[in-house]
Amino acid sequence: MSTEAHILAIGKFGKDIEDCLDYPAEYYTDMATDNMVTTELFYCVTRQSSEDLAEMFNIEKWNFNTYYMSNKYVKLDTSFLQMLNDDYESVFNGDLKRYNDLKAAGFDFIYMLSA
């Protein structure tokens, strides 16, 4: 069975994060500062990559209590960086930088699983 997963980032819009969002910057021209926005990170399409993603964020795959990650408490397992292989690098291209920028901007994160 294939399991898809991603990390949903949610936080307040600011010009400093518009390059981290899903659409080109011109789509946000009239966006009011502090409007809530979302974006998807680390989209996984296989069971193994979904499980690796959960492990990266210290999430228990079937424990829904661990899915919400407050910005104050989210802890990225840095050993994941060593776990990245060529396949993941191409899939997650740029997502680690976007994650770090959004975290610095105060975004919260939610692990989204679709089995």
CA angle 96, 100, 102 (to 5 degrees): 115
Q: Has this prediction a pTM greater than 0.85?
A: no
Residue range 58-105, pLDDT digits in tens: 788 788 888 887 665 556 655 565 555 455 555 566 788 888 899 999
Domains in the chain: how many in total? Answer: 1
The residue segments making up the domain with residue 88 are 4-114
